[in-house]
Structure 1
C-alpha cells in the first residue's frame, strides 16, 4: 500500500512539472505571436493608408482638373456669345449680359478673382467685393489691371472685336478643392507648382512637413514626366533635426490653357503608425498574460484535486468507460440516430432522434424499419452484413435510400459495429443512421457538373491538353483532330518535349516553366505545317492546380488573314480620304475664288446710285450668290455632315420676310415656266424666330428648286408653313411643298435621300444635277431635330414635308427692317475711311479677278495699296518698306501665304506687323493652320467691304493705343 501511494504522489509531481512547463511555453508563444501580429497589423495599416492616399490623390487631381475645365469651357462659351454692341444698346440687353456674367462668377466663385470684358468702346470688370457684393466697374484702359501672365487667361473673339481677361485665384481654388479630402492626423496636403510645394488647408500654428532632397527629386522627376505615383522617404519638422519616415503620394495634372505643370501631393508621417492605435492592444495583451498566469495557478490546484479524485474513482469506472467508448463511436456522425439489433436482425431499441430524422416514433420504427427501405437495397445490405460476419469484420458502412413519414425518400448512411462473444459468435450490432441527403445531392450535382464541363470541353474548337508538372500528357479535349501533329491518344504518357518540333518545343517549354514558377498565364503564338496546310495558333499555358498544367490552343489563321486584309483596307481608305480632302480643298478654292469677285462686285454696286428696279435685281443676284455659297459650303463639306460634326449657327430673324426673300429667288424660273407659285402661313406663325436660318434656307432651296424643276409648264407649286408650340417659347415649324409634277415611283422614294442618286441616271436625262440635294437636306433636317417625309404618286405630283425645332422670339428694338439683328459696326462710314484710319497696306493676291475686286474695294475706302503677286514679292516688300497691315492670300504660286507669313515673322519689320489671311478655304483646319503660321486673323472668301473696313479700323486703333502707351 505504501509503495502505491508513493507512486501516485510521484505521478502528481510529474504532472505538476509538465503543467508549469506548458504554462511558461504558452506565455512565450503568446508574447511572440503578439509581437508578430503587432508588426503585421502595423504594416497592414501603413499599406491600407497608402492605398487610400493613392485613390484620394488621384480623385483630388481629377476633381481639380474637371472643375477648372468646366470654368474654361464656360469662359469660351461666354466670349463666343458676347456682342460688341452690348453697352451701346438698351438697358435690357445690358442687364441680360450682366446676369450672365454674374451666373458664371457664382458657378466658379472660388476660382475667379476678376473678369475683365473688353468691348470695342468699353472695358468693364466684374468681381465680388469684401462685403460679398457682385461689383461692376468701367475702365478707360487695360493698364489699370495687373495680370500674371502664367496664371491668368486671355480669350478673344476676333470676328466680333471682343475679348475677356480672367484673373484667377488659384490659392483659394486649391484650398477649396482639397478641403473636401480628409487625410487624418499627421498628414498634410500640398500643390506642386513649377517644382515648388505649396501647403494647402494648413492650420495657422501647424508646422509644415519639410521633405528631404531624395524624396523631392523623386517627386520632381515623376511630375515633370506626367507620372502619378508614390514614394517613401524622410522629413524634418522645422527647427528639428530628428528624421521621421514619411510617405508621399502625387498626381500630376494640367490646367489648360495654363502652361505650368501642377500636381496634388498628399504626405503623411508614418514613423509612429501603430503605436497610437495599438496602445490599448498592448495593455490588453499584458492583462491577458496576467490572467493566464492566474488561470494556470488555479488550473494547477484544480488538476491536483481532479487527479486525486480520478484515482479514487478508477476502480469503479470500467463500465462507464465502455459506455463512453460506445457513445464516442455513435457520435462520430451528426444528424442521425442510434439503433440496436440482435443477431437475428430484430430491432431492440432506437434513440429518440429518429423522430427528428425520419418523422416516425421509436415504436413504429422498431416494428416497421424494413418497410422503409427499398427491396433491392435491403437485399444488398443483408448480403453485405452476412459477408462481414463470415470474415469476422468489426464494422460496416453503407449508403441507401430510406422513406420519411411524409413519403419523401432521403439518402442515409449507416455505420454499424458488429458484436461477437468470446467464442467469436455474432451476437448483434449497434449502429448510427445519418441523414446525408444534402451531401448526396451535392455529390450528384458535382458529377453532373463534371459531365457537363467535359461535354463543353469536347465541343470547343480549342485544342486542350493537360500535363503533369514534368510535361507528360495526361488528358486532352480535341474536336478537330486534323489540327494535330499526331493522334492525341498516341501521345498520352509521353513528354511533349520528346516529339514537338522546334521552335515550338522551346517556346512551349519556356512558357510551361514560367507558368509553373509564377502561376501567371503565359501566351505564345506559333505556326505548324499540317496535312490541311500551314496553320497559325495562339496558345495559353497556365497552372490547373499544384500537380497539373493546361495548354489551350486556338486556330487564328483566319483572324490573322482578316486582320491583314483589314489593315490593307484601312490604309486604302485613309489614302482615299486624303485624296478626297485634297480634292475638296482644291474645289473649294477654285469655286470660291470667282465667287469672291462676283459677290464683291455686287457689294460695290450696291453702294452706287441705282433705281429701285436695279436695286431689286441686284438684291436677287446677291441673295442667289449667298445661297450658292451656302450650298457650296455644305456640298464641299458633305463628309463633315456624314460624320455628324456639322454645327448649328442659330440667329434671330423676321420669319415671314426671310421666307419671302427665299421664295423671291425663284421668280425667274416661275415666270419662265408660267408656274402658279403660291405659299401660305399658318395663323400661329410668330413674327420673329430663332434657328439656323442658312440651313433652313438651303433645305428650302433644294426642295422648292426640285419642285419647280420637275413641275411642267403651267403647273402648280404650293408651300404651306405651320407652327406648333411645345414648351414655353419652343416651337416646331412644319414645311410642306406640293407640286403637280410627274410623281415618283414608290420603289424609288426611299433611295432619293441617298447621295448621288437620281431617278433618271441616263446620259439623256432631261434634268441635270448632282443628286446630292435631298441627301444633304435630309441630314440637315435631322441635325435640326426634324425629319423629312416624301409622299408621291405617279401622275399626281409629289409632297415633300419636313419639320425643324426653333424658338419664338418677341420683337426687339435691335431688329432691323429686314428682320435681322443690327450688325455691331452698322455705323461704319466706308467712303474715304482712309481719313479716319490712315494705314500703309500691302495686298498679296495672285488671282486677277480677286485683285481687281480688292483694288476697287480699297479705292472706295480711299486707300492706295502696294501689290505683291506671290510670297517672295511680299517678303521683299516688307523688308524694304514700312507697312501697317498685310492682306495675305493663302494659295499662290512660287510661295504660298503660309510660308510667306512664317518668313516675314523672322524679319525685324515683320515681328509686330499685323497679317490677315484671305482664302477660299473655309475649313476649321485651314483657319487653325493659318493662325499657327503666324497670321493674326483670317477671313474666308468671298470677303465683304464691311469685313475689310473692320480689320482696318481695328488695326488703326491698335497702333493708336500703342502710341499712347509709349
Structure 2
C-alpha cells in the first residue's frame, strides 16, 4: 500500500510538475505572443498615422501652391488687360477698372495685402483697412510706388506701359491654409522657410520650434533638393519648453516667382500616437488569457502574416505612388491628362491636369465634356469609337478641336485604350488627351506656305521637272505641253534615257550626274524638236534635297534669234560705257580735288581765332560745301547706275541688328520732331541673310529719311518687314515704309522715280534736295531684283513699299564692328606729332591740295617731305627712310599706282605703309589701289580727323613691331 501510494505520489508529482511546467510554458507563450502582438499593434498604429500625415502634408502643400498660382495668374491676366488710358477717358473706365481691382481682392483676400497699379500718368493703390473698408489711394508722381519687400511681385505690360506691384501677406496666407487642416491631438503644423521652422499661433506662423541637428540636416537637405520626406527625431518647442520624440513629414512647395525655399512640415508626438492602444490592450490581454493555445497560435500567425502583408502593401504603395508621380510629371511636360470611361462612355474619372490643359475643374469636365466638342467633331469621334468597338480594336487615335474655358478652340489629340471582357463585350476605356495646338498651327502654316510655293511654281512659264537620284521623273509643273518632246504625264515613272532621244539624253544625264555629285547648279543649253517646232532651251539642274533633283528649263529661242543683234549692240554699248566711265572718273577727280581743298581749309579755319560773324560766315560755307558734296555723290551714284558700273556685292550679316543700326542714325531727328517710329519684323524673317548690305542700307536710308523729312512734328512712321520663302534657302524680303506726312498728288507719283524730279519744283519750295534719292533707290531696288511701289494721299501720308531677293544663311557669322570707338571720337589731334612722331612723305601735284595738306600737317605738328609726282616719290624713298606715305593717284610723269608698285617691290622699303589720297571715289578705283599694295585709301574731300587717325594707327603698328 505504501509502495502504491509512493508510486501514485511520484506519478502525481510528475504529472503536476508537467502540468506546472506546461502551464508556465503556456503562460510564458501567451505573454510572449501578447508582447509581440502589442508591438505589431504599435507598428500598425504608427504606420497608419504616418500614412495619414504623409497624405495630409501633400494635400496642404499642393493646395497652398495652387492657391498662390491662381492669384499670380489672375494678376498676370489683370495687367495684360489694363489700358494706359484708363484714367484719361472718363469715370466709366475708372469705375470698371476699380471694380476689377476689388474683385481681385475679394478672390484673393487672404493673400493679397496691397495692390499698386502704375499707369503712364497715374499710380493707384488699393488695400483693406482694419475695419474691412476697401481703400483706394492716388499716389503722387514723386511718391515711391511700393516699399521694398521680399513679398512684393512686379507684373509688367511693356507694350502698354503699365505695371502692377502686388504686396503679399504670406504669413496670413500660410497661416490660414495651415489652419484649415486638423491633425488630431499632440500634432503640430509647422512651416519650413529658408532654413527655419515656424509654428502656427493664431493662424500666423511664428518661430519657436527647433528640430534636433541630425534630423534637421536631413530634412533641410531634402527640401533644398525639392524632395518630400518622412523622418523620426526630436522636436523642441521653445515656447512651451518641452521636448518629445516625433514623427515628421514634410512636402516642399514653391511660390513662383518668390525665391523662398518653403515646405509644409507636420509633426506627431510618437508617444501620443500609440497611447490609445494601452487600455484597449489591457482588456484584450484579459481576453487572451481565456483563449485556447490554438487560437492564440492562430492569432499570432495571423498578426504576423498581417504585419508582413502590411509591409509588402506599404512597399507596393510607395512604388505605385512613385509611378503616379512620374505619370504626373510626364503629363505636365506633354500638356496632357488621363481620363476613364465606363461601358456607356460616361466619364467616371479624370486627372487634375485637365485644368492646366483645358481650364476646367475635374467635376465640370466629367459632367459636360461632350458640350466642349463641336457637333461635327463629336459626330466624327462617336463614329470612330463605334467602329473601333465593332471591330474589337484595342485602341484608336484622333485629333480634333476642344473648347477651352477661356473661349478659344484648342487642337488636341486623344489616344484611347479599349477594354473587352472574355465574351468580347466592351467594358470601358482609358484615354490620354494631349495639347497639340502649337504643332497643328505650325503644320497649317507650313501647308499654306507650300500651297503658296506651288501657286508660284504653277504660274511660272518655265518647264519644271522633279526626278529621283536615278533620273526617274517624279513630278512636273508645265504650263504648255506643246513645248515638250512628249506629254509630261507620259514621262512620269520613266527615266531620262527613256524619254529623251540620243544624243540629248546623254548630254542631260551627264549634267544631271555632275549636279547630283557636286551639289552645284549645272546649266545646259540644247536644241530640241517639240510639238510646236524646233526650240532652243536653257535648263538648270540642281539638287532639291538629298533624295530628289530638279530641272528648270526655259524657252530661249527668241533670245537666240536676238543674240547676234544684241552682241553688236553690246559692243557699241561697251564703247559708250567705257567713254562714260572715263568721263565720270575724270569728273569725279576734277570736282573732288577743289572740294577737298575747300572743306579741308574750312576744317582748319574752325580751329583759328574767329569773330562771331566770321564763324557764322564759315559755317555757311561749310554747310554749302557739304551739301554740294552730297549732291555730287548722288549725281555720281546715279551716273554709275546708268553706266552699268554699279554691281552687287553680297555679304552675310545679322539682318535685325543691321536694320536697328540704320534706324538709330535717325534717332536725333526723330526726337527733335517728336515722331513716333514703329518697326516690326515678320515671323519668316531669318536671323542671318546674304545680300548687298550697303545698297539695302542706302535704299532704306533714302526712304526713311524722306519719310522723316516730309512728316510734320508729332507724326507717325511705320516700317513693316516680312519674308516669303522661295526654293528652300532663298527669300523675298518685303519692306513697307508708311508715314503721316504731307502726301503726294496722284498725278505726281509716277514721275517721282525720275532723276531730278520733285513734287514741288519751284524756287520757293519748302523741302530742298536734288531729287535723286528716289531715282537712285528705284534703280538699286531693280538691281537687287525688286520693284518700288508708291501709294499716297495728299495731307494723309504716303506708303513706299519694295521687295528684294536674298539668301538665307543658317550659320552664325562673326560680323566686324566697324563703328568708331569712343577713344577715336574723343581723339585730340592738335600738335599730335609730339606724341606720335613720324617721318611722312606727301606726294601731291595739285597746288590747292598741296597748300591744304601743308597747313593740315603743320596743324598736326609734322614737317613733311613733298614730292610732286610718282617719279620723285620713288627717288625720295630710295634715298631716305619714311614711316608713312600719303600718295595721290593722278599725277604727271608717273601716277600713284605705278609709284606704289615700284616702292612695294623695293626689298628694304616694301613695308612702308602707303595711304592712297585721291579724288577718285569709285569702288573700282579703291579696289585697284589696294590690289597694287596700298595699305589704305582716303577719297577726297578728306577730313583732318581722318588724316590724324591714319597717322595714329600706323604709329601704333610701328611701335608694336619695334617691341616685338
**Class of the TM-score when normalised by the shorter of the 2 chains:** 0.3 to 0.5
Larger radius of gyration: 1
**TM-score, normalised on structure 1?**
0.32
**TM-score, normalised on structure 2?**
0.32
